[in-house]
Structure 1
Amino acid sequence: MYANDGFRELDRQECLSLLATAPVGRIVYTRRALPAVLPVNFCLDHDGAVVVRTSADSELASALDGAVVAFEADEVDAAAHSGWSVVAMGLATRVTDPVEHARLLRTGPRSWVPAPQEVFVRIAQELVTGRELVGGRTMYGVLPRS
């Protein structure tokens, strides 16, 4: 990255703090040998893992279990030409431990589309990267168009 490109690299703690504020993120996974992207609501667990809740018999639950995936969340202010983006990559696994499942029923994300049987999927964050657009177009004295 160039020093004057308007972006600032975020450290792991900044990334986790920003992820915790986002209501929706995107899971990137493989579907029929092609990349697929799906928006989901989520929460961060106590260890920083991303947790999603989905229907037990959904394609998403099957596709994620045991797969390496990416998870992305961001916030953009188009008028101010500013924002941030965080990407977390790691192994996704279905929560099978009954005690952990019960805890996540109390503390985990709420499904926006409830299903008769739901599962939790954890994405361990093996690699977390992020950046923030700090200057936008105003950085060089160019104001955004009205």
Structure 2
Amino acid sequence: MNPLGYFVTIDPDECRSLIGDATVGRVSWVSQSRGIQVLPVNFVLVGNRIVFRVAEGTILQELTQPVEVAFQVDDLDASTATGWAVLVQGTTRAWDGELPITNAWALGRRELGIAIEATAWSGRSVSADAG
């Protein structure tokens, strides 16, 4: 057994497929007012866009303007030492289309839609053994 595990690159199409089944990811960017931010959001995949809603007056409202971001989703199982992680890079913009998020984890109104226009998809799967 390799104590470092085995990593396999995931192609962009599989990355999109994997996060299409997920509901929570982390968006990260450098805020002009507060520095590096990494925050969880409920999201949906709409074509090649990652779309989510935010509340007015929160730091996430910054993302209604064009901002370079990274978006990360993973699924890791500590008991089997297996999993995957997908990283999407892109630029945010305001989203006024429909957003079918019905199971938001946090309570409250989120009236502002944000879309990440993906420019790059990358991912890795990990396993404790080569099998």
* TM > 0.5 fold call: yes
Unaligned runs of 5+ in 2: none
AA at the equivalent of 1:29: W
Bigger proportion of residues as helix: 1
Verify the 8 A CA contact 1:26 1:39 in the aligned structure 2. Answer: yes
How many residues of Structure 1 are paired with residues of Structure 2 in the alignment? Answer: 125
Q: How does 1:85-96 map to 2 (within 5 A)?
A: 85-95=85-95
Is residue 130 of structure 2 the alignment partner of residue 132 of structure 1? no
Cα RMSD (Å) of the superposition? 2.2
| Structure 1 residue 83 displacement after superposition | 0.3
What is the aligned-residue identity percentage? 27
CA offset digits 1:26-76 (Å, max 9, x no partner): 00011236211001110000x221001111332211245210000000000
**Whole-angstrom CA distance in 1 between matches of 2:89 and 2:16:** 13
Which secondary structure state, in structure 2, belongs to the residue aligned with residue 40 of structure 1?
A: strand
Structure 1 distance, partners of 2:34, 2:66, is 15
Of Structure 1 and Structure 2, the greater strand share is in: 2
TM-score (norm 1): 0.76
Unaligned runs of 5+ in 1: 96-100, 141-146
Match of 1:54 in 2: 54
2:114 maps to a residue whose letter is V
Q: TM-score, normalised by structure 2?
A: 0.84
Partner of 1:36: 37
Question: 2:61 & 2:72 partners in 1: Cα distance?
Answer: 18
CA distance in 1, matches of 2:61, 2:94: 8
> Distance in 2 between the 1:132 and 1:64 partners?
32
Structure 1 residue 22 displacement after superposition: 1.5
Match of 1:113 among 97, 107, 116: 107
